[in-house]
Chains A and B, each alone.
Chain A
Amino acid sequence: MDTNVLFIFILSIFIGFEVISKVPSMLHTPLMSGTNAIHGIILFGGILVLADAATPLARILGFVAVIFGSANVFGGFMVTDRMLQMFKKKKK
């Protein structure tokens, strides 16, 4: 395996810890929801395996993976946005 990839992996771990070290508790839910949307990138995985699927079973499972991943990524960002819409300051 390419050691560069491992290097990127390790750095990502530290960045992940670093970026959310100080977050007020009222933002925990939106933050969870937002990161939930980001792991929706699994849609790419679904697309790439379905692209190379050679058997009917692989096609069906890949198709399901694409639907799941797509629901995760699109729904995730939308539901987070809807949550955060509520956080605007009231104009007096």
Chain B
Amino acid sequence: MSSTIALIIIGVAVLFIIGIKLLGSPKTARLGNLVAAAGMLVALLTLHKPAGEYVWSQGWLLNYTLIAIGTLIGLVIGAIGAYSVKMTAMPQMVALFNGVGGGAAALVASLEFFKRAHGLEGLTPFFAVMMLFATLIGSLSFSGSAIAYLKLEGKFERPMTFPGQNIFNGLILLVILGLCGYLTINSSASQATTAFGVMFLLALFFGIAMVMPIGGADMPVVISLLNSFTGLAVAADGFTINNLSMIVAGTLVGSSGTLLTLLMCKAMNRPVTNVLFGAFGSGGGGGKAGASDLGGKTVKPIQADEAALLLGYAQQVVIVPGYGMAVAQAQHQVRELSDELGKRGVEVRFAIHPVAGRMPGHMNVLLAEANVPYDQLCEMEAINPTMDRVDVCLVIGANDVVNPAAREDKSSPIYGMPIIEADRAKTVIVMKRSMAAGFAGIENLLFYKDNTRMLFGDAKASLQTLITQLKAS
């Protein structure tokens, strides 16, 4: 490696690190992404083969033509995906991009494995392990992301479980590891190709089996975990093809992604093992215990005109958005309502729960899209101490994140999860389509409180009625 290339690689690594760092603060996040992207572009344009040849000056030999065409196709697919996706479907897009990255990592490792296994240089156990690791992790990240994508799209979002599932999955993993062990020692044996193929397919299947039992609400954690997996696979690929930037970038993603996954679990107050192996909400015990406390209480419905009066004559209103708002695409109506209330001198704030919606930050993105000023959005910790002074708390399609069971009912599966304490407001208006339970599959005690009124119907339509009523009065 010439010293110029080495210097460039160091510069690129620094750009990646600064980029990730800047991504961690709201003011600099966008710049951070651009810094990392600039680093990537520099690295791509100066890409050299390990032997030192410059990749982009090899003329139009077949392989290099394919490289140019493939890169261009990927660029177009990526751009179309990134710019056509609706704001509500962002999480799915991240899952897809992560999946193809994992797939690429697995393919690169497989190709390198067979080239080395049958080549003159041979395959040392260290490199064999690296390649098998990248193949295994990359392919399970590919199939796991695909399932996560489908779950976020609303296909089989409920956990799929059967008795002995964890044992079944454990056995598959053992077989995979056994095959990897065999391949490490016998990389050039005649059965190696078959063993490798079986290993590859089992790893794909394992990715599916791992994500299927996890509920749709936990997909953010899963995607974050698979994201860090892909990072590690890329780092392992970097070791095998001797590319330093890949090692650095992959490792950075692997370790920061692992930490991010843990942070997300912490925001939900659940250990990561519970998310991955707990099959949340499938055990009905907690749900029943919650329901028995209700003691025949009923919910009190409210009509839109009365709700409009309550809101219009309030001094302080807090709006709690949830996934229901995203589904109904109601963020623009929410902003209109908040503007209308603002005109009447009502102080409106938004309470954002760390895990509201399908991804942390999901609500912020949606409300920002509807031009809700950034400073009106409050984090849960900031809003809870002021909840007693709030006249009306308007819950729009949020459920588990405002469920007082997390505070009151020790037997509830969400007990201990930090919630937005909506029930402490003078009046709570809950906008909801029906009495169906939230993602956790448990009853919401909030709906049965004395100060709670239920406004049934599609969030978008209800909000529109509220706005009309407010304008008329």
Number of CB contacts from chain A to chain B under 8 A: 387
B411 at the interface (CB under 8 A from A): no
B244 touches A8 (CB 8 A): yes
Number of interface residues of A (CB under 8 A): 79
Given contacts A14-B255, A40-B101, A70-B71, contact A35 B231 (CB under 8 A): yes
Residues of B within 8 A of A58 (CB): 111, 114-115
State A80–B228 Cα separation when bound (angstroms).
17
State A60–B271 Cα separation when bound (angstroms).
42
B185 at the interface (CB under 8 A from A): no
A68 touches B74 (CB 8 A): yes
Number of interface residues of B (CB under 8 A): 116
State A37–B16 Cα separation when bound (angstroms).
11
A33-52 contacts to B, CB under 8 A, are 33-52
A70 touches B255 (CB 8 A): no
Select B23's contact among A5, A31, A48, A61, beta carbons within 8 Å.
A31
B66 touches A50 (CB 8 A): yes
Residues of A within 8 A of B55 (CB): 47-48, 51
Q: Mark A7-37, 1 if CB is under 8 A from B, else 0.
A: 0110011111101111111111111111111
B126 touches A1 (CB 8 A): yes
A15 touches B74 (CB 8 A): no
A30 touches B63 (CB 8 A): no
B47 touches A47 (CB 8 A): yes
B279 at the interface (CB under 8 A from A): no
Q: Mark A66-83, 1 if CB is under 8 A from B, else 0.
A: 111111111111111111
B20 at the interface (CB under 8 A from A): yes
Given contacts A32-B227, A38-B252, A51-B49, contact A44 B43 (CB under 8 A): yes
A71 touches B24 (CB 8 A): no
Residues of B within 8 A of A82 (CB): 82-83, 90
- 16 A-B contact pairs sorted by A residue (CB < 8 Å): A12-B247, A23-B23, A28-B220, A28-B264, A34-B32, A38-B40, A38-B253, A42-B105, A44-B44, A44-B245, A61-B107, A65-B108, A68-B104, A70-B70, A79-B85, A87-B365
Q: Write the residues of chain B forming the contact surface with A, with a CB cutoff of 8 angstroms.
A: 16-17, 19-21, 23-26, 29-30, 32-34, 36-37, 40, 43-44, 47, 49-50, 55, 58, 62-64, 66-67, 69-75, 77-79, 81-83, 85, 87, 90-91, 93-94, 97-98, 100-101, 103-105, 107-108, 110-112, 114-115, 126, 220, 223-224, 227-228, 230-231, 233-235, 237-239, 241, 243-260, 263-264, 267, 352, 354-355, 359-362, 364-365, 368-369, 371-375, 377, 379
Q: Write the residues of chain A forming the contact surface with B, with a CB cutoff of 8 angstroms.
A: 1, 5, 8-9, 12-17, 19-54, 58-59, 61-90, 92
